[in-house]
Amino acid sequence: MDFLETYLRRGFGSMNKNDLEVWVFNQLLQDPNKQNYSDYDFSIELRIPQTKVKRLRYEATLVYQQKTAEEYSQTFLQLLQKAKIKSPNSDVIQFSMEDKGLYLYVDNILKKEGRFSDRSHNNEIMQISKEDLVHLLTNCLIPKDEQDEILRKCEEITSQKFKFSDVATKMIDKFIEGFATAAGTSAWVFTKANMLNLIQYIF
């Protein structure tokens, strides 16, 4: 969007300093060379505290980007690919999540069902239980048509019927156990193709 058009929309001089900074930061977020920038990277380049970067990123998302549920889901699944177990014998999964808007989106879904995630120890690290991750995968992250295809593959292999939540639980259990992924499969990747490949190793 043209800067002058944005600046003059509400009348000359009506855009305050914060609104201007949010607009500029949104332009930076659209730069292809900065798509993988972390809050720290922006902080160093712009010479501002990371706390301000977080605020600008959140406000820019709210005002200009207005991400859809599908976009948030895809971003969540991408971050999940770098998940780790909190500690041995734990069923708490943790991974980096700097995007406050994404966290609030996920947290809102969980709270509606009396569930919750945890960022109390580090607001850049998302911690979520296996049970709550299964809930997210089943109810908002994996499209219903993909779930149905995966369930059909399970039935072909086992001659049994399953709920998708059961299949997702078995996959997560394998990852928690330290499953050494076979050819064509990846840990913590919940794409349809990867899940279809994993089925033969979890039943």
**Residue 5's pLDDT band (boundaries 50, 70, 90)?**
confident
The pLDDT score that the predictor gives to residue 13 is 65
Structure tokens at 158: 């086992």
The pLDDT score that the predictor gives to residue 151 is 96
Helix (H) or strand (E) holding 84: strand 84-85
The pLDDT score that the predictor gives to residue 76 is 92
Does residue 47 share a domain with residue 101? Answer: no
Question: Which of the 8 DSSP states describes residue 2?
Answer: -
The pLDDT score that the predictor gives to residue 183 is 52
Cα 142 from Cα 140, distance rounded (Å): 6
pLDDT at 1 over 70: no
Does residue 61 share a domain with residue 30? Answer: yes
Structure tokens at 119: 């960022």
Cα 164 from Cα 174, distance rounded (Å): 16
DSSP sequence for 118-167: B-SS-TTEEEEEHHHHHHHIIIIIS-HHHHHHHHHHHHHHHS----HHHH
Spatial CB neighbours of 194, under 8 Å, sequence gap ≥ 6: 185, 186
> Where among 46, 65, 84 does a domain terminate?
65
Does residue 194 share a domain with residue 167? Answer: yes
Does residue 198 share a domain with residue 146? Answer: yes
Per-residue pLDDT tens digits for 55-89: 998 898 888 887 888 889 999 999 998 888 887 77
pTM of this structure: 0.76
Domain hosting 152: range is 142-203
The pLDDT score that the predictor gives to residue 186 is 78
Domains in the chain, number? 3
Q: Tally Cβ neighbours within 10 Å of residue 85.
A: 16
**Residue 201's pLDDT band (boundaries 50, 70, 90)?**
confident
3-state DSSP call for residue 80? Answer: helix
Does residue 84 share a domain with residue 53? Answer: no
Does residue 154 share a domain with residue 108? Answer: no
What's the CATH code of the domain at 121? 3.90.1150
Cα 55 from Cα 99, distance rounded (Å): 10
Per-residue pLDDT tens digits for 82-119: 888 887 778 889 888 888 888 888 888 898 888 877 77
Q: Mean pLDDT of all residues in the chain?
A: 86
pLDDT at 179 over 70: no
Taking residues 152-181, what's their average pLDDT? 87
Does residue 147 share a domain with residue 109? Answer: no
Taking residues 170-184, what's their average pLDDT? 73
